[in-house]
Amino acid sequence: MSDGFDDPTDFAVVGTDTGVGKTIVTAGLVGWLREAGVDARAVKPSQTGHPPDDDADFVVRACGDDEAATCLRRLEPALAPAVAAERADVDLSYESILSGCRDAMADAEVGVVEGIGGLRVPLADGREVVDLVADLDVPALVVARSGLGTLNHTALTVEALRARDVPVSGVVLNEYDGASTAERTNPDVLHEMLDVSVEQLPSLTIDSPTVAVDGISEHVARSVVPTKSRL
């Protein structure tokens, strides 16, 4: 299908928490796929804290293409979508989020859904991020912190996904510098615990969003991108 990517499929990028680097990884992977000739598009189900936060815009700027990302709903309060919608007195339904994601993914060769915070973040109508990933029936890539504490958070996240029959294509430990014993040992321990590939993405100086694409292509294996043959 493309240079170096064997039949990639839709997938989700989820995190163990907020601020772990989901947007950087999403931007990097979408940009990498698009450079390889795949019509990939990031899909943000809901953006809270807007402005200034705008993850879809970061992906667009990283890829240099307005078609590289879309955001279904933007909300001002920097809270979970369900809470932000209630505080802003805005109608937000889970079905609208689910159908919007499906439509946006159908318009691209590969849709990459970026999660919001961790898996248990409330979206709408009592549904959470983990419900959305399961209902979309896509595999997931987990983004986690590199240092002390990530074994527990990452293992619980992978366990929650597998409990919903969501395949996990891999784990990316973000801002990996190897400065502590925990950082240096975590990749091997997680691989043994979870039986998935564990990649290390070093700290990137984001003076430009395009750094995300270069960083991913240089430091992360292509195998983290799910393919139809491996599902």
Q: How many domains does the chain have?
A: 1
pLDDT of residue 3: 55
Check pLDDT > 60 for residue 1. no
* Closest residue by Cα to residue 134 from 98, 179, 106, 178: 98
CA distance 212 to 30: 10
Q: Is residue 5 part of a domain?
A: no
Question: 19 a known binding residue?
Answer: yes
Q: Is residue 184 part of a domain?
A: yes
Check pLDDT > 60 for residue 2. no
- Provide the CATH number for the domain around residue 17: 3.40.50.300
Q: Which of 12, 13, 26, 44 is catalytic?
A: 44
Q: Is residue 206 part of a domain?
A: yes
Question: 48 a known binding residue?
Answer: yes
Would you put residue 187 in left (φ > 0), alpha (ψ -120 to 50) or beta? Answer: alpha
Q: Is residue 2 part of a domain?
A: no
Question: 175 a known binding residue?
Answer: yes
| Cα distances (angstroms) measured from residue 228 to each of 1, 94, 159, 182 | 12, 27, 22, 34
Q: Is residue 28 part of a domain?
A: yes
Q: Is residue 117 part of a domain?
A: yes
Give the domain range for residue 136. 11-224
Does residue 44 have an active-site annotation? yes
pLDDT per residue over 94-151, tens digit each?
999 999 999 999 999 999 999 999 999 999 999 999 999 999 999 999 999 999 999 9
CA angle 181, 183, 185 (to 5 degrees): 65
pLDDT per residue over 35-70, tens digit each?
999 999 999 999 999 999 999 999 999 999 999 999
Question: 24 a known binding residue?
Answer: yes
Check pLDDT > 80 for residue 231. no
Work out the widest C-alpha separation in the chain, in whole angstroms.
47
pLDDT of residue 4: 63
pLDDT per residue over 162-215, tens digit each?
999 999 999 999 999 999 999 999 999 999 999 999 999 999 977 789 999 999
Q: Is the dihedral of CA 77, 80, 86, 91 positive or negative?
A: positive
